[in-house]
Amino acid sequence: MGMRSGPPDIRGVWNPTIGAGAGYEMQSEKNEKTNMEFAIVGKESVGGKDAYWFEITMNSAKAGGEMVMKYLYAVDAGNIQVAKMIMQMPGRPPMEMPAAMMHSSKAPQSSDFRTQAEDVGSETIITPAGTFACEHYRAKDGSGDVWISPKVTPWGLVKYQGKNSTMTVTKVITGAKDKITGTPQPFNPMMMGQRPQE
């Protein structure tokens, strides 16, 4: 699935606005392209702090259609914490993932990429979503470059250029609604590999 270890590590500046989001084209080193949409579709309180439902939508040929995952993100000590995760496969009821599946061994995701990067300067980036005045940041560890604009939410990410992959905004989303329908069921691993009924 590629999502079992938790949400993707997105480099940017976390600045959620309910109903707002962005679409992206991601390209791997093998030139494989994937289109994904990110949107903020709700808000809850976690431990007395505001937490936001961050929803990811992608079309998966293996899953047989549109797959939706949403994560309840809270920020603690500058890092993203995942309080809940719900996913919905095509033609299936949504499932809530157990906490053990959300906490992988990878390093915590920073809510502000700028703390790990140097400012290269201001640049104008042309994308399928339009032209953006961006601030260009380069990771101190040399892993990649990020172009950020406050006009793109929730991460401000206009473009990412890594050693083996790229990510470019293709559209800005407004009025986003939760795409997960139905009451989440407890996680059932038997449902993961099944194709939807015809």
Q: Exposed (0-12), middle (13-18) or buried (19+): which is 21, by Cβ within 10 Å?
A: buried
User: pTM for the complete prediction?
Assistant: 0.87
Q: What are the angstrom distances between the C-alpha of 169 and each of 30, 100, 134?
A: 20, 32, 13
State residue 181's pLDDT score: 86
Query: What is the full per-residue pLDDT of the chain (198 aa) written as tens digits?
Result: 344 445 677 899 999 999 999 999 999 888 888 899 999 999 999 989 999 999 999 987 776 789 999 999 999 989 999 999 999 989 889 999 886 666 555 678 899 999 999 999 999 999 999 999 999 999 999 999 999 999 999 999 999 999 999 999 999 999 999 999 889 998 876 655 544 443
Which uninterrupted H or E stretch holds 55?
strand 49-60
181 three-class SS: coil
Say how many C-beta atoms besides its own lie within 10 A of residue 2's C-beta.
9
Both tokens of 124, joined, read 């104008």
For residue 23, list its beta bridge partners: 37, 171
State residue 67's pLDDT score: 93
Q: What are the angstrom distances between the C-alpha of 92 and each of 39, 95, 175?
A: 21, 9, 25
State residue 97's pLDDT score: 87
Nearest to 158 by CA among 166, 170, 148: 148
Q: Exposed (0-12), middle (13-18) or buried (19+): which is 66, by Cβ within 10 Å?
A: middle
State residue 104's pLDDT score: 56
State residue 107's pLDDT score: 72
